[in-house]
Amino acid sequence: MIASATAINGNQTKPGCELYCGNITVPYPFGMGKECSIDEWANINCSITAFDPPKPFIGDFEVVQFLETEVRIKNLVATSCYNASGLINGSTSSIDLRETPYRFSSTKNKFTVLGCNINGLATSVRQTVNYSSGC
């Protein structure tokens, strides 16, 4: 997923804050720890014990790259597997961007649903207007 956020300040952080999480530069307004980021939505968890090199996360989503106007993350893939008796294994995936400045890109994100007896739904709620799309 590619989400837009406020402008990123190049290769700078707040004084005393780390600039790198593994191989990823984490520029302000993002930061590792509440004292290093502008707000909770920009707080990066640098997973230093689970990965070598460490990986940055926003919530449950791994950050792949910070660009000037974009944050690129890996999204989870939802699955449903069936046999003749019914559902064997399944998972869901959702992203809640409320309370953040992030927005889905209308040109760079892809929403794909594959399979039989499966559906996908994308919804958005803005003030008093609701948007939904699905297949």
Query: Residues 91-128: pLDDT tens digits?
Result: 777 777 777 788 777 788 777 777 777 777 777 766 66
- State how far the Cα of 115 lies from the Cα of 128, in Å rounded to an integer: 34
Distances (CA, A) of 3 to 36, 38, 102, 107, 130: 21, 17, 5, 11, 20
Nearest of 39, 2, 36 to residue 19 by alpha carbon = 36
Nearest of 126, 127, 77 to residue 104 by alpha carbon = 126
> pLDDT under 70 in the chain at which residues?
1-11, 87, 125-135
Structure tokens at 8: 């990123």
Residue 125's pLDDT is 66
Q: Which residues of 74-100 are buried (b: 16+ CB within 10 A; e: fewer)?
A: eeeeeeeeeeeeeeeeeeeeebeeeeb
- State how far the Cα of 3 lies from the Cα of 58, in Å rounded to an integer: 12
Lookup result for tokens 């892809």: 110
Which residues make Cβ contacts (< 8 Å) with residue 41, sequence separation at least 6? 58, 99, 100, 101, 102
CB 87 within 8 A of CB 81: yes
Q: Where are the domains positioned within the chain?
A: 20-73, 76-134
